[in-house]
Amino acid sequence: MRTQCHLTFKRVIPHYFARDNKETILKRRQSVESWLEAGIDFFNDCVFIDESGFNRNMHRSYGWSEAG
């Protein structure tokens, strides 16, 4: 996932104000489109973890980010 999707695991610094602006949404869409073009099989090659059991006020310390 790291090399094929060009992602890295970094410490999270929250930027809540930019979460849902048009530029951020466009970047998310472009990332997903590039992953689909790369032929990543999300149903067989990825593990998704359900976070519904976690406290809503908990924040992640680390997260995936674009490499570079």
Angstrom distance (rounded) from CA 24 to CA 22:
6
pLDDT tens figures, 11-25: 877 767 777 889 888
Where in 1-68 does DSSP place strands (E)?
A: 7-11, 62-66
- pTM to 2 decimals? 0.46
Residue 26 pLDDT grade (very low, low, confident, very high; cuts 50, 70, 90): very high
Give pLDDT, residue 56: 62
